[in-house]
Amino acid sequence: MAVPIAVSGATMGSVLIVESGFTRGSLAACRALARDGWTVGIGSPEKGLAASSRWAHRWHRVPPVEEDFAGFLEATERAMRREGYEAVFCASDAEALGLSYGRDKITAIVPYPPHDNVVRAIDKLELTRAAHRVGLAAPKTVPATAEEIRQMRGPVLVKARLHWTPGAQHAPSRLKAAICHTPQETQRLVAGWRAHGAEAVLQEVITGRLVHFMTIMDADQQLLAAVQTLAEPLTNPPVVGQRVRSVTVRVDPELERKVRELFIDLGWVGLASLNLLLPEAGEAQLIDFNGRYSASFDQYIAAGPNFPAIWARMVTGRPVPPRMRPKEQIRFQWLEGDLRRALVQRRGGLVRDVVDCLSYAPGAVHTLWRWDDPVPTLRFLLRLVHGLGRRLMSKLHHGPVPNEGGGAQDSRVGFSEGSRRRPEEGTGQGSEGSPGRRRSKTGRSTAAAADPTDD
């Protein structure tokens, strides 16, 4: 189901979105902001999805925050001065941390609470502690000390407290969570992360279906909008990947109350998406906090609230619309990921699984294609073909294609809906290729307290 763009009669101000170039959340936000009358600029290392949209006013070259932090801030400020943007938004944890830490060097509004509060919300260990304080269930999470590693009994999920720290040199923007089964395996992974300046935590492995809760808290500690979704037990790659289907459900009043108390405890103001896992028995458990644009933004917007516009209005001091009751049963599908999952998982056979993917597509919200804005999809397809061609040639002649960082090119290039440096919304146990990867033959999710980076 497409979300049509119908620009409102009101003329708003102008805002800048900084991103990696190929994040679906930025594209959705660009379209939604334009629908509300905003002028939208895009800052990224290359001209990608959002910058190709007809609703993007201008593209600015902004280097990746994790590769050139000073250059990232300088390019962002240069765009601000050139176009007079009022506020700057982003689509990844690294960009959020970078903007928050470097806000003194940016003349526009950075839409975050004090930096210590931002770090506390994104920090996996501090988030879990805050959840427990307000009565919100969360998996047991402890620092990855030598003593804790020695005392391991069975598999644990190893996660970075922060994926990236402002000023870290030669560090990736994301460190993929992984399930480790032995102390030796865990120690190797933790030591590798420390080389990038990252601290790790050990988290209890749990299973369940993903629940996402998106909302916006204002300075008066009121929630201006809220949408809740429940994912189907399907991910790409199977078991350890990103969700491919979900549906909006009724907002749980008790969950909403606890989320509000969590925000108050953290000192959070602004937009955030909480990721939880709902086991077969018991309450949903909090596993992640994302204070930026999310990968499947279109689903939340289609449910009613224009989250990007509400956030922009709030931080710039403009009137916000009254809270509305979101629509239920709004389905979402990441079609490309669903098809890739079917090629591997083959539930009931390849043909049957592919047909099931295609039959789910009509009426579902999708993130790329719009009849009135086709260029982002065409750019995505060109990038897909280019990536497939490079891999084919490498297999014929040279082996794995090296990426910019010197490692092997991610085999999912073209199908990943985030940047080539990171997935946007991991929802399974660990990460692709992690020690804990296990393929499901039934399609039943064994998603654990992983490192989801989206919604």
Give per-residue pLDDT as tens, 396-409. 776 554 443 333 33
**Could you tell me which of 197, 389, 229, 201 has the C-alpha nearest to residue 296?**
229
Q: Is the pTM of this model over 0.75?
A: yes
Is the pLDDT higher at 429 or at 165?
165
Mean pLDDT estimate for the chain: 84
Q: Give the whole-angstrom CA distance, residue 370 versus residue 82.
A: 30
Residues 24-66 have pLDDT tens digits of 999 999 999 999 999 999 999 999 999 999 999 999 999 999 9
HEC sequence for 217-280: ECCCCCEEEEEEEEECCCEECCCCCEECEEEEECCCHHHHHHHHHHHHHHCCCEEEEEEEEECC
Of the ranges 260-264, 344-348, 437-441, which one carries the lowest mean pLDDT score? 437-441
Note if the bond before 305 is cis, omega within 30 degrees: no
pLDDT at 436 over 50: no
Work out whether strand 141-143 and strand 200-203 pair parallel, antiparallel, or are unpaired.
Answer: antiparallel
pLDDT confidence tier of residue 11, bands split at 50, 70 and 90: confident
**Could you tell me which of 307, 304, 336, 334 has the C-alpha nearest to residue 320?**
307
Strand partners, 333: 245
Sheet holding 270-278, edge to edge: 285-290, 270-278, 209-217, 223-231, 245-249, 331-333
Pick the CATH number of 124-203 from 3.40.1280, 1.20.1300, 3.30.1490, 1.10.3470: 3.30.1490
Cα 335–chain centre separation:
17
Amino acid sitting at position 65: V
Residues 281-328 have pLDDT tens digits of 889 999 999 999 988 899 999 999 999 999 999 999 999 999 999 999
> What is the percent of the chain where pLDDT is above 70?
84
For 161-237, where are the E strands, in sequence order?
Answer: 178-180, 200-203, 209-217, 223-231, 235-236
Strand partners, 201: 143, 159
Residues 132-169 have pLDDT tens digits of 999 999 999 999 999 999 999 889 999 999 988 887 76
pLDDT at 432 over 70: no
